[in-house]
Amino acid sequence: MPDHTAPAPSTAVRPPALRPGDTVMLVSPSGPTRPERVARGMELLTGWGLRPVLAPNAYARQGYLAGADALRAADLNAAFADPEVRGVICTRGGYGAQRVVDDIDMAAVRRDPKVVAGFSDITALQFALWRGARLASVHGPGAAWLDDRTPPRSAESLHAALMTTEPVTVAAVPEEETFAVRVPGRATGPLLGGNLCLIAATLGTPDMPDLTGAVLLIEDVQEPPYKVDRMLTQLRRAGALDGLAGVAVGQFTDCADGWPVTVADVLTERLGDLGVPVLGGLPVGHGVGQLTVPVGTEATLDTETGTLTVAPAVRPTPSPSPSPSPSPSPTPSPAR
Q: Is 43 a catalytic residue?
A: no
Q: Is 286 a catalytic residue?
A: yes
Give the length of the chain: 336
| Residue 224: Cβ-neighbour burial (10 angstroms; 0-12, 13-18, 19+) | middle
If residue 25 lies in a helix (H) or strand (E), which one and from where to where?
A: strand 23-27
CB 17 within 8 A of CB 115: yes
CA distance 30 to 99: 9
Instruction: Tell me the DSSP string of 237-274.
Output: HTTTTTT--EEEEEEEET---SSS--HHHHHHHHHTTS
Catalytic residue among 30, 120, 137, 154: 120
Q: Is 177 a catalytic residue?
A: no
Q: What is the DSSP letter of 211?
A: -
CB 225 within 8 A of CB 256: yes
3-state SS string for 53-113: EECCCCCCCECCECCCHHHHHHHHHHHHHCCCEEEEEECCCCCCHHHCHHHCCHHHHHHCC
Catalytic residue among 4, 139, 159, 286: 286
CA distance 34 to 94: 12
H helix count then E strand count, the chain: 8, 15
Catalytic residue among 177, 219, 223, 298: 219
CA distance 140 to 100: 21
CA distance 196 to 225: 12
Residue 129 C-alpha from the chain's centroid: 11
Contacts of 106 (CB under 8 A, 6+ apart): 132, 133
3-state secondary structure of 39: helix
Q: Write out the catalytic residue numbers.
A: 120, 219, 286
